[in-house]
Structure 1
Amino acid sequence: MTTANIMLYVEDVEANADFWKKYLDFKETERFDFGGSISIVLAVNPACNLQLFDIDFIRKNSPEVASNKPSLLFDIADFDGLYARFKENNETVGEIIEMGGARTFNFPDRDGSYYAVREIVA
């Protein structure tokens, strides 16, 4: 089996990891110490992880990729529950819209990078 690690470069690794764990229930699977910088791996599912890196560490060690940001769309079964959790916690969250036959909304992480959510329609 192949696993995809999506690398996100963030200002605060711990705060962003807590955000993903709280709202999308991602589980921390690994933590790396680079001597003054950490990286946290969060399992999205058995085939996909988010690996969070400190942006300053990336700027120093791989400046050519430091400005790369993926555009991520998460397919969610508990669409209304996730939206409600964001609202209940006074998080910034976009309005629910219909797009391509499915309801969607977007939200920012702790660094202000936006991600999209699409409802899984059975």
Structure 2
Amino acid sequence: MINKIGKVTVYVNDQEQAKDFWLNKVGFVLKFEQAMGPNMSWIEVGPSEDEFTTLVLYSKSAMERQNPSAVSHPSILFSTTDIESAYEKMKQNGVEVDELQRMPFGTMFTFKDQDGNTYLLREDK
């Protein structure tokens, strides 16, 4: 059956701004990019070259034309082994982050991308 999460689509207002955010502020790598027409590309980014799962940075306006009900807020939980370092790095890079939350089941924080989408980063031990 299903053994991996392959891709998660994030609908963005500006693909180039989104690519810049994920590559230069969060530290992801560009995994794949291909033009899909005059004003749109298929862009995939991921945490490393070796990581299988990627984010697809897809044009929100294009998806609203194709399937308006498909555009919704992403619900994505990322993992890290060093939450303190990740938190400080994102703050230094100008990422909007909420306070660290220390819970019995783990430490985490939320952060926002260039379009105001909220994500959660949790420490895996």
| TM interval, short-chain normalised | 0.7 to 0.9
Counterpart of 1:105? 109
Q: Confirm whether residue 59 of structure 1 aligns to residue 59 of structure 2.
A: no
Query: 2 CA distance for matches of 1:92 and 1:116?
Result: 12
Give, as a single letter, the amino acid of the residue that structure 2 aligns with 1:20.
Answer: W
SS state at 1:56 partner: helix
1:100 offset after TM fit, Å? 4.0
Structure 1 stretches (4+) deviating beyond 4 angstroms?
none
The C-alpha deviation readout for 1:38-78, integer Å capped at 9, x for no partner, is 22111345331100111111111222312x22311111013
Alpha-carbon shift at residue 81 of structure 1 (Å): 1.5
Asked whether the equivalents of residues 6 and 53 of structure 2 are also in contact (C-alpha less than 8 Å), the reply is yes
Aligned length: 120
Measured after TM superposition, the shift of residue 30 of structure 1 is 1.3
Closer, same or farther in 2 for the Cα pair 1:86/1:113, shift >3 Å?
Answer: same
- Structure 1 runs not aligned, ≥5 long: none
Alpha-carbon distance in structure 1 between the residues aligned to 2:98 and 2:55 = 22
Moved more, 77-86 or 15-24: 15-24
Q: Distance in 1 between matches of 2:90 and 2:46?
A: 21
1:4 matched residue in structure 2: 6
Alignment TM-score, normalising by the size of structure 1: 0.85
**Structure 2: which 5+ residue stretches go unaligned?**
none
| TM-score computed with the length of structure 2 as normaliser | 0.83
In the alignment, which of 18, 27, 30 is matched to residue 28 of structure 1?
Answer: 30
Of the three residues 27, 47, 55, the one matched with 1:50 is: 55
Q: Secondary structure at the match of 1:57?
A: helix
Task: Output the aligned Cα RMSD.
Answer: 1.9
Q: Percent identity over the alignment?
A: 27
Q: Which residue matches 1:16?
A: 18
Q: Distance in 1 between matches of 2:26 and 2:5?
A: 19
